[in-house]
């Protein structure tokens, strides 16, 4: 059996996720001093951007804004309870079926109504801006939620690079289309490739990030490696995984879930406890945070805009959120 190791990391150095916070604080100190640090008799290497290629590799991060101090969802749940229909519709399927997914080489095209279209290599994406730790709430439209320490930087960073034209009103994100690697794409579960979209002002909001990691490490494949979007005030499906294209457009994109079931999934999909899904209430959520001994399950109230209303409610001033759900 093949034992997979993180790039440049001895297995003895893989930190238990429980030690995440203390290690992060420690690594921040190490990073500030340079590429490596002698601790006792062990030399710890800090990965350079070129080495942070593979899922699970340590990332050099700084503390980012907007983090919640709620209890984190355990790493195990973040990486084994996934929605990633390109691999499987079972929650525990993607972790298995995405194990050998190739995330190198990988390019992201940023194009459309822009002054300077550009194709970014994933390693350029990783180097474009300081990688920030951002602990966000993550609310799935199905009624469960997590608290995930993502790693990334504002989506606006990459959008500004290509200089959007005034005509550009929306941003469209496209996931990789590769049925050879993604078994779910061999069936017509959805109309592949997976497409999502935001209004330009939503995409430019500092809460919206381009995400390359979680728990201080490069994204596990099942969470959308090597790069995904995270928009924490919207239902999870707005946060497209494993993206290869970002397109600035004039018309509102037809997002995959809206196309599949327009009565159930709107374009906006802002988290809203007052607008029920046609088949279930959205008032409560099952928070997966390891609190309950029996099932790691706890019911809490869902908040408007997933608790980010102070930051984003103004984007929707004057809009009827029942109509634009």
Ligand X SMILES: Nc1nc2c(c(=O)[nH]1)N[C@H]1C(S)=C(S)[C@@H](COP(=O)(O)O)O[C@H]1N2
Binding site for ligand X (CB under 6 A): 82-86, 138, 140, 175, 194, 223-224, 236-237, 239-242
Is residue 140 near Mo ion by the rule CB under 5 A? yes
Closest to 211 measured CA to CA, from 116, 138, 160: 138
Task: Classify residue 315 as exposed, middle or buried by CB count within 10 Å of its CB (0-12, 13-18, 19+).
Answer: middle
Count of CB atoms situated within 10 Å of the CB of 77: 18
CB of 214 to ligand X, least distance (A): 8
CB of 273 to Mo ion, least distance (A): 16
> Which does residue 86 touch among Mo ion, ligand X, none (CB within 5 to 8 A, set by kind)?
ligand X
Residue closer to ligand X (CB basis): 26 or 66:
66
Is residue 266 near Mo ion by the rule CB under 5 A? no
CB of 105 to Mo ion, least distance (A): 29
Residue closer to Mo ion (CB basis): 101 or 257:
257
> Which does residue 175 touch among ligand X, Mo ion, none (CB within 5 to 8 A, set by kind)?
ligand X
Q: Cα separation of 320 and 318, whole Å?
A: 7
Q: Cα separation of 82 and 223, whole Å?
A: 7
Mark residue 98 as left, alpha or beta (left: phi above 0; alpha: psi -120 to 50; beta: remaining): alpha
Residue closer to ligand X (CB basis): 54 or 145:
145
Residue closer to ligand X (CB basis): 120 or 235:
235
Is residue 236 near Mo ion by the rule CB under 5 A? yes
> Which does residue 302 touch among ligand X, Mo ion, none (CB within 5 to 8 A, set by kind)?
none
Could you identify the residue written with the tokens 């690079």? 161
CB of 29 to ligand X, least distance (A): 29
Q: Which of 75, 237, 267, 325 is close enough to bind Mo ion by CB under 5 A?
A: 237
CB of 263 to ligand X, least distance (A): 17
Output the six-digit token pair for 252: 């509102």
61-120 positions binding Mo ion, by CB under 5 A = 83
Q: What is the DSSP string of 149-207?
A: EEEEEEHHHHHHHH-B-TT--EEEEEE---TTT-GGGGTTSS-SSPEEEEEHHHHHSTT
Determine the Cα angle at 211 with ends 311 and 277, to 5°: 60
CB of 236 to Mo ion, least distance (A): 3
Site of interaction with Mo ion (CB under 5 A): 83, 140, 236-237
């Amino acid at each position: 059996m093949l034992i997979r190791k993180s790039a440049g990391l001895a297995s003895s150095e893989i930190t238990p996720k429980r030690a995440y916070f203390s290690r992060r604080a420690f690594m921040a100190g190490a990073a500030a001093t340079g590429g490596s640090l002698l601790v006792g008799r062990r030399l710890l290497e800090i990965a350079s951007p070129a080495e942070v290629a593979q899922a699970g590799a340590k990332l050099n991060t700084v503390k980012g804004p907007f983090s919640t101090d709620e209890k984190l969802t355990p790493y195990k749940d973040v990486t084994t309870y996934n929605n990633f229909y390109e691999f499987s519709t079972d929650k525990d399927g993607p972790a298995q079926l995405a194990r050998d997914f190739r995330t190198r080489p990988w390019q992201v095209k940023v194009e459309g109504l822009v002054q300077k279209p550009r194709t970014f290599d994933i390693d350029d994406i990783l180097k474009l801006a300081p990688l920030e730790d951002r602990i966000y709430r993550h609310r799935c439209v199905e009624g469960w939620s997590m608290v995930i320490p993502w790693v990334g930087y504002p989506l606006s960073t990459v959008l500004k690079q290509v200089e959007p034209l005034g005509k550009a009103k929306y941003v469209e994100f496209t996931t990789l289309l590769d049925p050879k690697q993604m078994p779910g794409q061999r069936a017509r579960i959805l109309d592949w490739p997976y497409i999502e979209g935001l209004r330009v002002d939503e995409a430019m909001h500092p809460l919206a990030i381009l995400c390359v990691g979680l728990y201080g490490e490069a994204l596990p494949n099942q969470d959308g490696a090597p790069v995904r979007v995270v928009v924490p005030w919207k239902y999870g499906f707005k946060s497209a995984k494993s993206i290869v294209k970002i397109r600035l457009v004039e018309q509102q994109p037809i997002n995959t879930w809206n196309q599949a079931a327009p009565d159930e999934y709107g374009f906006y999909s802002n988290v809203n406890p007052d607008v029920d899904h046609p088949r279930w209430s959205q008032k409560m959520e099952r928070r997966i945070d390891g609190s309950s001994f029996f099932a790691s399950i706890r019911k809490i109230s869902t908040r408007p805009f997933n608790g980010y209303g102070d930051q984003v409610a103004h984007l929707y001033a004057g809009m009827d959120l029942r109509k634009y759900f």
